[in-house]
Structures are given as structure tokens and as C-alpha cells.
């Protein structure tokens, strides 16, 4: 049995959600995306778009200036990578 990791999702966080979504959409030629209502309920604007059959790019931004993601972005100096998610497959 062979195992290997497959990229599942890459996420970015920014303070200006609309601008970050436009940039990601333009640079990566993304099609329509969707938002996660659970993240919205937790104070995060979210845009997730497929980049392959089982792979996604996500852009999120805090909707409140005192959100923990806003504080983190302040510490790291602005927009930043937020997550890289892999999936292990056994062949």
C-alpha cells in the first residue's frame, strides 16, 4: 500500500475581503465560488472556489475589527496565508 498527500485547500486571509477576492479571482482565473454560513456566523467573510475536482482556494476576512483574525493580520503585517489542507490517500 502506498500513501501520498493530495492538496485539498489553500486559504488566504485579508482585511479587505472584496479586494482580496477580486485579486484571487483575477490571478487564478477562478470561476464562481461560495461562502460558508458557519464562518459568517463567526464573523468571517468567506469565498471558496474550486481549482480542481477536489481542490479549493479560500479567501476570508474578519467582519469585525476586534476579531482574532484581524488581530493576527495586524501582527503579521497584512494579508497572509491562512491554511494549507492536505488529504492522505492510500493506494
Distance from the first to the final alpha carbon of the chain? 6
Instruction: Give, in order, the Cα–Cα distances in Å from 38 to each of 23, 26, 29, 56, 90.
Output: 24, 26, 26, 17, 31
Residue 40 is predicted with a pLDDT of 93
Residue 8 is predicted with a pLDDT of 84
N residues, the chain:
91
> pLDDT tens, position by position, for the chain (91 residues)?
566 778 888 899 999 999 999 999 999 999 999 999 999 999 999 999 999 888 899 999 999 999 999 999 999 888 777 777 777 766 5
The C-alpha atoms of residue 45 and residue 61 are separated, in whole angstroms, by 5
Residue 3 is predicted with a pLDDT of 65
Pairing label, strands 44-52, 55-62: antiparallel
Q: Tell me the β-bridge partners of 87.
A: 6
Cβ(20)–Cβ(6) under 8 Å? no
Residue 1 is predicted with a pLDDT of 55
Residue 90 is predicted with a pLDDT of 65
Q: Indicate the class that CATH gives domain 3-90.
A: alpha beta
Of the candidates 10, 9, 33, which has an alpha carbon nearest to the alpha carbon of residue 21? Answer: 33
The secondary structure of residue 34, as a DSSP letter, is B
Amino acid at each position: 500500500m502506498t500513501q501520498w498527500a493530495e492538496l485539498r485547500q489553500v486559504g488566504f486571509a485579508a482585511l479587505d475581503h472584496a479586494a482580496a477576492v477580486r485579486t484571487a479571482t483575477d490571478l487564478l482565473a477562478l470561476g464562481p465560488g461560495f461562502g460558508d454560513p458557519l464562518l459568517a456566523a463567526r464573523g468571517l467573510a468567506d469565498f471558496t472556489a474550486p481549482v480542481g475536482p477536489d481542490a479549493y482556494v479560500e479567501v476570508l476576512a474578519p467582519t469585525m475589527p476586534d476579531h482574532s483574525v484581524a488581530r493576527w493580520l495586524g501582527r503579521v503585517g497584512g494579508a497572509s496565508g491562512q491554511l494549507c489542507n492536505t488529504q492522505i490517500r492510500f493506494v
